[in-house]
Structure 1
Amino acid sequence: MTSAPSLGRYAWLVVMLLWPVALLNYMDRQMMAAMKFSIMDDLPSIGSEANWGLLPAVFKWVYAFVSPFGGYLADRFSKRHVIVTSLFVWSAVTWATGHAQTFEQLVWSRALMGISEACYIPAALALITDYHNGPTRSRAIGTHQMAIYAGVMIGGFSGYAADSPSLGWRWAFDAAGIAGVLYALPLFFLLRNPPATGEAMVRPSPGRSLGELLGNRFFILLVLYFTLPALAGWVVRDWMPAILKDQFGIGQGHAGVSATLYVNLTALIAVVLGGVLADRWMKRTIRGRIYISAIGVGLIIPALFGVGNAATLGTAIAFLIVYGLGWGFFDCNNMPILCQIVRPELRATGYGLMNFVSISCGGFADWGFGIMRDQGIPLNLIFTAFAALCAISVGLVLAIRPKATV
């Protein structure tokens, strides 16, 4: 039998083993945004900004549709197997993306990427929460989410690789894909599902799982709260390199780094800080995580307004830093809040449903933003609307009445 101290050490090893996986998960996504102009120049069949916006949109729609199924597989069977298979497949698809020759092939690669990546986050976060109980849960999730921001930052530098005559955008996808395939093998042997408790776990059917979650009004509020800030979040992640390049006349590499480095470095620190503060506040009130998360979204509101109205690159970066601080506080507490309103056997499924709604809407936001850019709608109006949606979401999360953490 595994001793409690040994299990506690392995709980943190799980987070560390998943760190490179989360990094690759988001690096693979961010590279396309950072290398936009090189890809469009190389593949003229893309044609328009609306078509470019359709690429991340297709990824999100497929990702969203598959997420609940991926979450259910993780709850019903083995989180370990779901995670490793997801990593292997999306890494192979990343490699294949670097060999696309037409717009249609890019669309298919993003769709396949959506299928494979959709299974990772629900399973990974549920596995972490299985190992980490209330006192360390937000910190553990925050530590895992740090890898996401590291991946986005590294992906942002791929614009320089795309501009390099000796490398190019195809090389970046090749390298990232091979790295993920190679890491899947040791991960398979090192990652373990948690030991079974003495209690028999009731694993409901898909229909009962869906009915129980949708019948929980606090879960519905959390889904809406999770979705509204993410509309702006996906546009910031997918479009900001191009926005800064167009707005301030800088190079593709400079724009990619400016759009990703500072905001994600701040978010990387903020997810840990937000996790620590939330875990400490939970000692005083079971709403501690909700309060920290709401503060984070409160910071996002002025940040979005400022980015949309920035007159200089420095001002835009300053507001992106504020955005990163708020996003980190928000991001590290979504799964912990979910754990307070649904039972353990439904956590991955619940997070998959949250992803379904949030990311499918994010796909429309990406596509719609491209259409609005083609039509010349002012940037400040678009980002002011995003800020207003975030203000609504703060009220939604404060209406949640959580139970004690399990």
Structure 2
Amino acid sequence: MVLAAASESEFSGHPGLQTRHPRAILTLGILLVFTILSYVDRMVLVLLIDPIKRSLLISDVQVSLLQGLAFALCFSIAGLPLGWLADRFSRRWIIYCGITAWSFATAAGGLASSFGELFLARFCVGVGEAALAPAAYTMLADLFPRRQLAAATGVLATGGAIGGGSAVLAGGLVVAWAEQAGMVTLPLIGTVQPWQLVFLSFGVPGILAAFLIFLAPETRHMAPPSQGGTEAGFGSWLSANRLFVSTLVVGTGGLGILAYAVTNWTPAYLSRALGLDPREIGLTLGLVQLFAGIVGFAGSGVLIDWLTARNLRNATYSYLIASAVVSGAMAVIAFAFAPSLTVVMICLGLFHMAIPFTTAMIAGVQAGTPRAYRGRMIAIMNLAASLVGMILGPWSVAMLTDHVFVDPAKVGLSVAIVCGVTAPICVLIYLAGFRSAARAMDSVRKSGE
């Protein structure tokens, strides 16, 4: 669906926006680049698990803390205040500072020589990336009309698939190159190991690209006055819509467990159980994750818009329920029952098509939350996905592998158990909040926002 854009001087950014901003597509493209970079920096660690374990002499549980707790703790702590800032101050400066911070922190991971130093670097990556989502998604709500918003959100969310897939695809090649190069001596830094060189290489692009955000329009002045946008007003709204909010938050956390359990431990499974090297993992898993994820992220937004246009009540929750069913089933088959690498990759492809919950989650927030509260609600959703998903997903798999099976080669079975238990719980949670969510969305739609 394509609409003619109004001239920039005519654009008012009012809640009932009917025509997209003339720089909406440019802004979406810039934000997509930033989202890709954020996921590349976030996910590059998954290809470096075994080299880091050997270098720092750490366990799978400690690796899970680097994957989850180190990043998610700061990501979560910083998310709410940054969401509050995104509702009130310059979103462009918030994004610029966040990108610069996480890029330097990623590069700093290449200087770590102990578990504690690498944990601190990943912690700082979290605070930088926490700035992006609340500011970016609220910018879209000010630049695109409601009927195009889920599709625009889906395009932006594809950055997760492109970034995650690129981290595995390009990262596998970079890891292979770095391992072939061996120990490298860098000016001012000294001698670094191959895994450290990978971190240093991935930190540079974000520092250079951060300035692009100033090509986007500033949208803060478009927000309506904060009538009812006070903290008391936000608290009252949360109380009145507690079932909608709680089921979206907890369900999002559950899907986060599925997503991060599979994403963080698939390379280790392919290496330990199936004998693939980093280059082979990058070329197979990277391509599957990249293309299937793009279809899932972008397609979910288009599908939700299509279902909404045909008056399906609460298309968001319907999609999330289907996502939990399909992704849970595919994960169990891939990691517990698949007889060959080909079947594993087919199941993982279907998993990555079905699991993208970000588009539906953000679409649900935008559809069911008054405009003055969206930045904070998006931050709450990210907090749920990070605190619950990024911590419990990798950690629960590691605990089963290290302390129940006591066998690194059993990591696949650990992933299958975690996903097989979590997916049905997510379905029940979304069913419990289905009607409440629909009422919240109806209320916002009737208000003209």
- Compute the TM-score of the two structures, normalised by the length of structure 2: 0.83
Are 2:157 and 1:145 aligned? yes
- Cα distance per residue 1:238-290 (max 9 Å; x no partner): 11111221221221332344444313321212222222222122122252333
Structure 2 matches for 1:391-402, cutoff 5 A?
A: 391-396=427-432, 398-399=434-435, 400-401=437-438, 402=441
Q: Distance in 2 between matches of 1:79 and 1:120?
A: 9
- Cα distance per residue 1:117-142 (max 9 Å; x no partner): 11211211111122122110111011
Are 2:147 and 1:135 aligned? yes
Q: Distance in 2 between matches of 1:199 and 1:63?
A: 28
Where structure 2 has 5 or more consecutive residues not aligned to the other structure, the ranges are 1-7, 12-17, 183-193, 406-412
Are 2:238 and 1:190 aligned? no
Range with greater deviation from structure 2 (349-358 or 192-201): 192-201
Instruction: Determine which structure has more spread, i.e. the larger CA radius of gyration.
Output: 2
- Give the corresponding residue for 1:326: 354
SS in 2 for 1:200: coil
Range with greater deviation from structure 2 (296-305 or 130-139): 296-305
Please say if residues 227 and 361 of structure 1, whose CA atoms lie closer than 8 Å, have aligned partners that are also in contact: yes
Are 2:238 and 1:213 aligned? yes
| Number of positions where the alignment pairs a residue of Structure 1 with one of Structure 2 | 402
Structure 2 matches for 1:269-288, cutoff 5 A?
A: 269-285=295-311, 286-288=313-315
Range with greater deviation from structure 2 (294-303 or 15-24): 294-303
Q: Distance in 1 between matches of 2:327 and 2:212?
A: 39
Quote the offset at 1:392 in angstroms. Answer: 2.5
Letter of the 2:395 counterpart:
W
Q: Distance in 1 between matches of 2:104 and 2:40?
A: 14
Q: Distance in 2 between matches of 1:311 and 1:61?
A: 38
- % identical equivalent positions: 20
SS in 1 for 2:111: coil
Are 2:82 and 1:76 aligned? no
Q: Distance in 2 between matches of 1:256 and 1:355?
A: 27
- Give the corresponding residue for 1:242: 268
Partner residue of 1:43 out of 45, 56, 66: 56
Q: Distance in 2 between matches of 1:351 and 1:257?
A: 34
Partner residue of 1:251 out of 254, 274, 277: 277
SS in 1 for 2:63: helix
- Give the corresponding residue for 1:166: 181
Partner residue of 1:371 out of 399, 408, 413: 399
Q: Report the RMSD for the aligned CA atoms in angstroms.
A: 2.3
Structure 2 matches for 1:315-394, cutoff 5 A?
A: 315-328=343-356, 330-362=357-389, 363-377=391-405, 378-379=413-414, 380-394=416-430
Change (3 A) 1:73 1:197: closer
Partner residue of 2:29 out of 5, 8, 16: 16
Range with greater deviation from structure 2 (5-14 or 369-378): 5-14
- Give the corresponding residue for 2:75: 63
Please say if residues 223 and 372 of structure 2, whose CA atoms lie closer than 8 Å, have aligned partners that are also in contact: no
Please say if residues 31 and 159 of structure 1, whose CA atoms lie closer than 8 Å, have aligned partners that are also in contact: no
- Give the corresponding residue for 2:188: none
- Give the corresponding residue for 1:110: 122
Q: Distance in 1 between matches of 2:136 and 2:172?
A: 29
Partner residue of 2:42 out of 12, 23, 29: 29
